[in-house]
Amino acid sequence: MGLIVQKYGGTSVADEACIQHVASRIKTSYDAGDHVVVVVSARSGVTNDLINRASRLTSKPDCRELDMLLSIGEQETIALVTIALHALGVPAVSRTGAQAGIITTDQHTQARILHITGGDIKEQLDAGRVVVVAGFQGVSDKGEITTLGRGSSDLTAVAIASFLEADRCEIYTDVEGVHTGDPSLIADATLLKQMDYGMMQELSSSGFKVVQARAVQLAERYKMPMVVSSSKKSSAGTSIQDELSSFEGPRVYGVALDKQQAKILIEGIAHEPRSLAQLFAALKAASVEVGMVLQSDSRDIKKGLSITVPHAQLHAASAALEVVFDRLGEGRIIDMGPVAKLSVVGAGMRSDVSIMATLLAALAEAQVQVLMVSTSEVRITVVIPVQKAEEALRFIHSALGLGSKKTEEALTMQVG
């Protein structure tokens, strides 16, 4: 008998049949004698539908009102899941983010959790009830409804699990767990049985959508074991925990693809710290997330500076840059447009050049142009044209020997 937090995403609660299926899975845990807290997302499509309704009224809806609007998606799901549990004879009660005491900052649509009071969740669990909590939402100390950013139901689940000192936080999704690459793009991607927090964060922030990087970061901080598995199939899934103890040499965990990126190539900026500072300050003021920054020629920045930004922020970024160029009296954008980032994530990547060599050789063979490269201890990222990105992903996955023909244990040797 333990205390488990289970999170079900939007596709797992998409309609009444899905909700009944989720309820029966929760009942299995409940019947096994576990205390269960369930965190759910909005039904898939609902959040986008609500955003579209607001967008038809104005191009820039107020963030506070957007939170008022978007939070109803999860509120609908908690009620429906609880009703489905009742229908199976499982005592259950629903709680909004506010009722569950998820206290946040007042940065609407991008709030951060300050602390958790838990409301009466512990009492409800002690009374033998399953508690169904709305993910993604919280409440500011002024009583305003806030949301935590897209995909943050994972964060809610980990936060509540940590607050309750749960035995584990189970993330249920539409795939069987974390694979070496997106299984919808790579037919033979290997399911990974184990993963450590740091690697999972790298994979998530490189484009793996299976679990939110921010949630994994919080789990690492509170040493909360996570398990990612399928809400449909019965599978052990992937367990995410503290750094895996035994490995030798480089080990590749997965290949991630992010197609929602853009690059901007800038020319003619003086190699002066003040100019560069102004440039990045302007991007920050425009809320642009700068990804990679590369100098074309290490001796002369004037010859070219490339940056990557999320594609959705490309227009805002270029507008902000033009203002700085005007003020400085120098600099111009000579190229910009969509790109993809392909990342290989693993341990000991920088210390062993074999993976970089394999990667670049494979891309050359596949005739994929490499626009930018960056490396860190745990990741190699190449920026490539969007058109060939999925093909390149499959090619690299295969070249690195990550296919499921090999057992997971053999991956290290293959690559090392």
Residues lying near a copy of itself in the complex (CB under 8 A) are found at: 16, 19-20, 50, 53-54, 56-58, 61-62, 64-66, 68-69, 71-72, 75-76, 78-80, 82-84, 86-87, 93-94, 96, 99, 143, 145
Please, which residues have CB within 8 angstroms of residue 97's CB and are 6 or more apart in sequence?
71, 74, 133, 134, 135, 136, 137, 138, 139, 145, 146, 156
In which element (H, E) is residue 64 found? helix 63-87
Instruction: Please state, in angstroms and as integers, the Cα–Cα distance from residue 272 to each residue in 27, 35, 224, 299, following that order.
Output: 63, 60, 45, 13
In angstroms, what is the minimal distance from the CB of 23 to a copy of itself? 8
Name the 3-class secondary structure at 30.
helix
Retrieve residue 369's tokens. 């142009």
Least distance from a copy of itself to the Cβ atom of residue 139, Å: 10
Question: How does 51-63 read in b/e, with b if 16+ C-beta sit within 10 Å?
Answer: eeebeeeeeeeeb
Torsion angle of C-alpha atoms 90, 96, 97, 101, degrees rounded to 10: -80
In the complex with a copy of itself, the residue whose CB is nearer, 50 or 333, is 50
CB of 128 to a copy of itself, least distance (A): 16
In 29-72, beta strands by DSSP E: 35-40
Taking the least distance from each CB to a copy of itself, the nearer of 69 and 336 is 69
Amino acid at 110: Q
Q: For residues 91 and 337, which CB has a smaller minimum distance to a copy of itself in the complex?
A: 91
Work out how close the CB of 267 gets to a copy of itself at its nearest, in angstroms, rounded to a whole number. 40
* Closer residue to a copy of itself (CB): 93 or 228: 93
**Minimal distance, residue 110 CB to a copy of itself, in Å:** 17
Q: Which is nearer to a copy of itself, 77 or 206 (CB)?
A: 77
Q: Which residue, 58 or 367, is less far from a copy of itself as judged by CB? A: 58
At closest approach, how far in Å is the CB of 233 from a copy of itself?
23
